[in-house]
Amino acid sequence: MGPYDEEMERYLKEFRPQPIRALEAPPRPWRKSWRRLAAAAVVAGCAGGLFWFARRELGLSKETTRVRAPDQSVLSERQSRTTLALTALALADDKKFEAILAEESRKSLPGFRGEQSTLKVLAKD
């Protein structure tokens, strides 16, 4: 052993282990967080208002509503104009299908014989 080893041993013998004691954490005083309390009150108020409004809107009224039956002519005319009904009509009766298409085109497309007609303007060229 060299001189440094003996000197190191003497140095290390000077240290004595200390007993471990319990860690003491000071008790935290309860802080009144007014912001948190105010936010909680606002959330509770909004939730209560929402429930009140929803309950009022969904509440059953004592009045009864009278619904008038739709006119049969309007209903039957609309039902015959569905895509499925028109397809079945085209397969069953070509002439009636063409008549319905011609009637609908007269109702929805602009006339081509008027003064402002696109065809009349093109025919002048």
Per 3-state DSSP, the chain is made up of helix, strand and coil in percentages (nearest 5) of 60, 0, 40
Residues listed for the chain: 125
pLDDT given at position 79: 47
pLDDT, mean of each 10-residue run, the chain (125 residues): 80 86 81 85 94 78 61 47 84 89 79 68 63
Q: Quick one: 46 exposed, middle or buried, by C-beta within 10 A (0-12, 13-18, 19+)?
A: exposed
